[in-house]
Amino acid sequence: MNPDLNKLQPYPFQRLRDLFAGVTPNAEYAHINLSIGEPKHATPALISSALADNLAGLASYPTTLGIASLRNTIAQWLSRRYQIPALNAETEIIPVNGSREALFAFAQTVIDSSRPQPIVISPNPFYQIYEGAAFLAGAEPYFLNTLPGNDFAMEFNTVPESVLQRTQLVYVCSPGNPSGKVLTLDQWREIFSLSDRYGFVIAADECYSEIYFDETNPPLGALQAARLLGRDYTRLVVFSSLSKRSNVPGMRSGFVAGDAQLLEKFLLYRTYHGCAMNPAVQAASAAAWQDEVHVVENRRLYAEKFATVTPILQEVLDVELPDAAFYLWAYTNQSDTDFALQLYRDYNVTVLPGSFLAREAHGVNPGQGFVRIALVASLAECVEAAERIRHMLQS
């Protein structure tokens, strides 16, 4: 067996199941699950129709690179969304089966395990795929704690020179999970400068980029930042997804875009990996990327929930409206696991302990005392859950 598998820790939701094992929640309340970032808004009919209308494609093997019309549609979307020149749809874009599998597979392509002690830098708390991808590529994760005191930023100036010299890959998540923070242009300038100096690749996870609150001020993207700073896309690849944007987590559809040389090798890896996108899903994906009406409505629904729920929770928790994404990252001023357990047992509401999303690094677990609350349920359920949390803490 691959010994690196022994380095993998249980996924946060397995740890949550273990925490709740043997606990019977209060039957007076209907269960409300706000622990997992699974969109619950309705899938737009235009996507479902496109999927159904193209089922004949199941009779053909798909190519790993995907159909040209989908890649061209993604290129056009990127140009509109980020106000950048259209990417080369032949060399700078690859459709993928959701950002999760691509974020993992990318490390297997990038990491050169023949070099001594390769490092992968990740934010902390983080999406656990980053850690697993590093271990199984033969690298060592190095965590940058993102804390309220530094406005949840990745402080690269704290990374020792010896670590930066061994760094081959840096995962960046903007908007962040779980904080919802969006990287500024100055922060991107720093990351690009370090990439130029030390030669590491940047994997920019942007799966929450389309959930934000000000239609006139969408989150800055990595490709956009590169262009604003007069750069090309050398050593930069972004990862995007339809799951949150278009409420199709089960469709498993996204894309990677950026450095053509990196993507050439990534395509080679994927050809052997065997992960070409279903032809019907490709057609439905093209329909989704072409339409913004449903995305605007999606944002409106989230904005309504945040505007209603946040003030209720602010009466009893230290929590602020995020820059973007659909999480509230709330400080409980107590054990996050005790908080989640009591809330589930007494009020039948599920949230995720922040410590499950982080690792102890540099003497602290930066998720300790926090809970992640995913406002993915209906407005009525989110409000009801917030009222139960308030009642629990006021009691």
d(CA 51, CA 43): 12
Q: What is the mean pLDDT of each run of 10 residues along the chain (395 residues)?
A: 92 96 97 96 97 95 95 98 98 96 97 95 97 97 96 96 98 98 98 98 98 97 98 98 97 97 97 93 98 98 98 98 97 98 98 98 97 98 98 96
pTM over 0.85: yes
Domains of the chain: 3-42+294-394 (3.90.1150.10), 45-291 (3.40.640.10)
pLDDT recorded at residue 391: 98
Handedness of CA 175, 177, 181, 185 (dihedral sign): negative
If you search the block for the tokens 């009691």, which residue do you land on? Answer: 395
Torsion angle (degrees, nearest 10) of CA 29, 31, 34, 38: -160
Amino acid (one-letter) located at 54: N
